Structures are given as C-alpha cells and as structure tokens.
Amino acid sequence: MIAEFGLAALWLAAALALLQLVGAFAGVRGTSPELAAVVRPAAVVQAVLTALAFLMLIWLFARTDLSVLLVAENSHSEKPMIFKLAGAWGNHEGSMLMWVAIMALSGGLIALIERRLPERTLLATLGAQAFVGLGFYAFLLFSSNPFTRLDPPAAEGAGLNPLLQDIGLAFHPPTLYLGYVGLSVAFSFAVGALLTRNVTPEFARVMRPWVLGAWIFLTLGITAGSYWAYYELGWGGWWFWDPVENASLMPWLAATALLHSASVLAARDALRTWTVMLGVVAFSMSMIGTFLVRSGILTSVHAFAVDPERGTFILALLAIYIGGALALFAARANTIAEGERFSPLSREGALVVNNVALSAILGVVLLGTLYPLLTEAFGVRVSVGPPYFNPVSAVFFLPMLLVLVVGPLLRWRRDSFSRVQRRVVFAVSVGLVVLFGVAVLARIAILPLLGMALAAAVAVAAFAPLRGRSLRRLPLPIWGMAIAHFGVAVALFGVACDSALTIEKLAAANVGDSVTVGPWQVTLDSVEPVAGPNWTALEGRMTAHYNGGEGHHIAPQARNFWAPPQETTESALLTRWNGQLYAVLGKEAKDGRWQVRLWWKPFVTWIWFGGVLIALGGFLALIGRVVGDLRQRERRRLIAQRHEVAP
C-alpha cells in the first residue's frame, strides 16, 4: 500500500496547490479574506504531503519493491543500499517528484517564516508558486506517475545505469535540483512583485537569501558534476560544453547576475525592473535546461531517461510560465520606477557591467546550445563545441574579470578612481608580472596566458576591500564576497593551467613496462581480475614515481556490470598539491599488451577547489544576511514592545 499512499499524497498535495492558487487570487483581489486565510496553511500542508510522497518513493527503492514499475526499471536487489536510494532520483519520474517536493517545501517555508512583505505581495508570491507547482503535479500525475504498479511484479529489477552508480551521482542531482527549484522561488517573488507593483528594497532583501541559497547549491552541483564527469567518464576532461552541462551553467549565470542585481536593489534602491527581469530569466533557464535534458532532443552522456512526449509536456509548461511571466513583465514594466540613479564610476556601475557581461555569456551559451537543434530541424547537422564557446565567451569573461578587480573597491552611488588607484595598480601589477613571467618561461596560448594573469590580479584584488578594516568586526557578507571572488581566481588559474600545461600519453604496455608522462614514471605491475557487489573488473596495478621519488600505487579498472550489462571505465587518480596523475586502463591487444592512457594535469584540482570556495563565500554571505535579518526583526519587535508599554 506504500505506493498507493504515495500517490494519494500527491493527489492531495495537488488539490491543496489548487486551493492555494484560488485563495491567493481572492486575497490579491480582496474579494474573500476567508479564502486568503487558507493560503499559508495550504502551502504548509502541501509541503508535508509532497515530502511524504517522496519519502515513500525512497522507501519503495530501499525495499526494492519490484511491484512498482519505476523500481523494477531502475533498481536491482543486489545493488548497494546507497545506490538503491540514489535510484529514487536517478530516473525521470523520481527526479521530477524530487523537483516538486523541493518546490513545495520551499513554498511551505515561505508561508511559515516570511512576515516582511506586504500581505498582498506575499499572497501573489504563494499564488505564483502554486501555479508553477500545479503544472508539475499535472506532469507527474498524468504523464510521469512514479507509483505505477507492475502486475505481475518483476522477478528482478533491470538495475540502475552503471554510470549513475557512483557516490558523486548519488549527491549531485539533489544538489543541482535544490538550485533549480530555488530559482522557482525567485521567479514567484518576481511575479508576485509585478502583480502588486511592489518592487522595493525590502522585496529584494526578502528574495536575496533564496537566490543566494539557490546559487550556492547550483555552484556545488555544477562543481560536483564537473568532477564526476572528469573521473567517471575516463576521457580526462572536466568540461566539454556538453548541452546538458550547459543546461546547468545557464541558470547559474543568470542567478549570478540576479544575485548582484538584487544586492544593488536592496542596498541602493536601483535596478528595479532589471532585477525582476532576471528573476524571470533565471527560472526560464532552469525550465529550458529541464526541457533539454528530458525531451530526448539531445544526445549526451548525461541525458538519462529521455522521452519526447513528456518533453512536449515540459515545453508546454515552459511556454505557459515563461511566456506568461514575460507578458506580465511587458505589461507592468513601465509602471515600475527604475529607482535611484548612480554614477558609472560606482559599485552599482561595476555591478551593471558585471550583469551585462554575464548576460552576454549566457546568450553565447544559449545560442551555442540551441543552434545545432535549429539547424537539424532544417536537415543540417552541425556541432558546436569548445572552438566556439571558449573564445566567444572569453570576449565577455575577460573584461568582466578586469571589472572584478576594481568593482569591490568602489563606493556606492559615486566614487573617484584616484581613491582606489593604489590598490588597483598593485593588483594589476601582480597580474602583469605573472603575464610576462609565464610568457618568458613557457610557450602557451594567449587565452590561458591571459587567464593566469587575470587570476593573479583577481586573487590579490579579492582581499583588497579588507585592507585597513578590523577583520574581527568585518560583516560575514564582506568575507563571503572576498572568498567567493578569490574562488573565481583559483578556479580560473586551474582552468588556465589545465588548458596550457596538460600532458597526455597513450601507450601499449606489457606487464613490467614503464611509461613516462611529464614528471611521472608509471610502471604496469600486473592486471588482475576483481569483483564488486554487482560488477566484475580487470584492475591494472601500477606504481607511479614523481621525479624518481617514492613509489605510489594506483589501480584503474575496466568494469563490467551485469544489471544492466554495461562496461565502464574507472580511472585512477593520484593527487599532489600541484596537479593530478590520471590513469585509465584500456583493452588488451592481440599481442598481450595493454592500452594505458595517462595524463599529467598541473593544478587541475584548483578548478574544483575554486568552485568550493565560491560556494563557501556564498554560504558565509547567506549566514550573514540571515543573522542580520533576524537581528533587525528582533530590534523591530523590541521597539514595538516599547511603544505598547509607553503611555
């Protein structure tokens, strides 16, 4: 009965979403206070029911209940428990239920804790959240029911895609979905503000933590996904501009622009319409990403569980939500005052440049992702990859980094360059030293060279705003900004080094042979059969010496899964502070030699270390904002108490 209870919970949650929408509509129009009063409770109970439905699906996977179609198609009794649980969201239906559950929980949390917005704006926001939720409930209940029974039950499950049977993929999708769905909250806030024409600094302060939270999870999700692709797919790359990779990058770019824009609105009451527009665009990118991944129109190593019919359903939802929001924006934008003016040489001016550059990069990625689909519709197949994305996005990315050196040093509203000149010159000088130093010592391409120089300049500039201030009294959001910008520099340095300095060696080796790659000498000691819980493998046992030093053992594997039958490559990584040795064991040739593929990748780990730093900076800023809001709320409460006590 667990599946039936889960389905019933979903239907009840959908009914409550409808009630929430109707109540919010009545509340905004002021026609029925009674109906408006049920909006908050409906949102909370809906969240509980949806979370319950998702927990029931996880329980079905944990028990390997093969009378449920989804479990039979995506699990197996011999899988390790962690991958049984991950199977609940490692498929189309389960991941969409996760999407709905996170969205409902977000709506419930807003209904429980949010007291700062005017009641009409909050009702409009919860109404928009219910409207978005209803579409996804309909999608689940009529097109992608995760609780469909199988009669008779299967004797054994088909198993989960072996590429997904990895600890990284057990946590990567939930992280990414928290980011995607968090942007639906920003979208609802934007729609609510448009409906009630309440685009104020307070609105931005309410929306900002939600955007920040979504942005943190997106950052972590993209970073984890990149590292998973790097070690699991066995081709030694960390980013290939794959359409599904782009599908997660586009919302992140829009969310980054939105985050900075919301900060300007919250602090200086400027960029009102731009902030609302970015709220719509950010969620639009999430929806486009979902459509690309689920529609079946893309061929990608990441595009699991695709279905053209259900893709059409998502396309219809996208047209309704995004088309409706853009129409609303067009109708209301001219009624929203733009807010305070500012000088181009100010922190607001720098953030505007940052926004424009991020939007341009977003346009570049969107065009490059959709262009092959458009040409294919006319019978022409084209491939768009790094030769397009790298130089074209760099045209906007590199100037944005230059602004990143100056922007955090500037004051709000108006400033002069002479005030920040010394610190800017110092950061730029460091970048120039790196530029000329690397150019003299190594022959590398111009883009990686510029990347290294800018990384050095940004790293120095990231902590420049802290100079002369008491570090103990520095607000957490300032620390967060510095660490996040430093993370950008670290990641950029890793990208530039990986692009310019990576060495690859493909060899056919007998047992006992040694292969040299960069500073490493790697010896193939033996190839042995090994077995795991649901796979067998050939394991290449190797000893690696760095510059003739101590030997380190590594063991890449070529695995064979039997449910479903599939071969995968398990790379072996040896990490040092200055890079990673990456080893892959290939096939055995007829003459008994083994294909061995080795990479020496200097400073490649800095890419993901930088991603974690960026997310850490966001987390510190979020903690600082939330604590600041709570203190402000407490101050208001105390002031209100004094006024009540005063005669």
CB 432 within 8 A of CB 453: yes
Residue 330's pLDDT is: 86
pLDDT (tens digit per residue) in 255-286: 999 999 998 898 888 888 889 999 999 999 98
pLDDT (tens digit per residue) in 46-80: 999 999 999 999 999 999 999 999 999 888 888 88
Residue 295's pLDDT is: 65
Least confident of 308-317, 384-393, 559-568: 308-317
Instruction: State yes or no: pLDDT of 311 exceeds 80.
Output: no
* Interatomic CA distance for residues 519 and 524, integer angstroms: 17
Residue 624, both tokens: 């600082």
CB 270 within 8 A of CB 349: no
| DSSP notation for 523-553 | EEEEEEEEE-SSEEEEEEEEEEEETT-SEEE
Instruction: State yes or no: pLDDT of 237 exceeds 90.
Output: no
Least confident of 90-99, 556-565, 629-638: 629-638
pLDDT (tens digit per residue) in 442-468: 888 999 999 999 999 999 999 988 888
> How much is the average pLDDT of 512-526?
95
Residue 546's pLDDT is: 95
Residue 368's pLDDT is: 92
Residue 440, both tokens: 């003299």
Residue 411, both tokens: 């004051």
Least confident of 143-147, 179-183, 309-313, 589-593: 309-313
> How much is the average pLDDT of 578-589?
93
Task: Give the model's confidence band at 501: pLDDT under 50 very low, under 70 low, under 90 confident, else very high.
Answer: very high
| DSSP notation for 391-457 | HHHHHHHHHHHHHHHHGGGSPSS---HHHHHHHHHHHHHHHHHHHHHHHHH----HHHHHHHHHHHH
Q: What is the mean pLDDT of the chain?
A: 89
Task: Give the model's confidence band at 211: pLDDT under 50 very low, under 70 low, under 90 confident, else very high.
Answer: very high
Task: Give the model's confidence band at 304: pLDDT under 50 very low, under 70 low, under 90 confident, else very high.
Answer: very low
Task: Give the model's confidence band at 305: pLDDT under 50 very low, under 70 low, under 90 confident, else very high.
Answer: very low
Residue 312, both tokens: 């059409």
Q: What percent of the chain has pLDDT over 70?
A: 97
User: Within a 10 A sphere around the Cβ of 147, how many other Cβ atoms?
Assistant: 25
Residue 564's pLDDT is: 76
Helix or strand run (H / E) with residue 281: helix 272-294
Residue 223's pLDDT is: 94
Instruction: State yes or no: pLDDT of 563 exceeds 90.
Output: no
Instruction: State yes or no: pLDDT of 357 exceeds 70.
Output: yes
- In this structure, which amino acid lies at residue 563? A
Q: What percent of the chain has pLDDT over 90?
A: 53
Residue 163's pLDDT is: 73
Contacts of 356 (CB under 8 A, 6+ apart): none
DSSP H helices, 502-564, are none
Task: Give the model's confidence band at 1: pLDDT under 50 very low, under 70 low, under 90 confident, else very high.
Answer: confident
CB 249 within 8 A of CB 365: yes
DSSP H helices, 532-604, are none
Instruction: State yes or no: pLDDT of 645 exceeds 60.
Output: yes
Residue 105's pLDDT is: 94
Residue 338's pLDDT is: 67
Task: Give the model's confidence band at 299: pLDDT under 50 very low, under 70 low, under 90 confident, else very high.
Answer: low
pTM of the model: 0.91
Nearest to 586 by CA among 505, 508, 522: 508
Residue 327, both tokens: 């129409």
User: Within a 10 A sphere around the Cβ of 441, how many other Cβ atoms?
Assistant: 8
Task: Give the model's confidence band at 513: pLDDT under 50 very low, under 70 low, under 90 confident, else very high.
Answer: very high
**Do β-strands 594-602 and 579-588 pair in parallel, antiparallel, or remain unpaired?**
antiparallel
Higher pLDDT, 504 or 469: 504
Task: Give the model's confidence band at 307: pLDDT under 50 very low, under 70 low, under 90 confident, else very high.
Answer: low
Residue 373's pLDDT is: 79
User: Within a 10 A sphere around the Cβ of 161, how many other Cβ atoms?
Assistant: 18
Residue 443's pLDDT is: 84
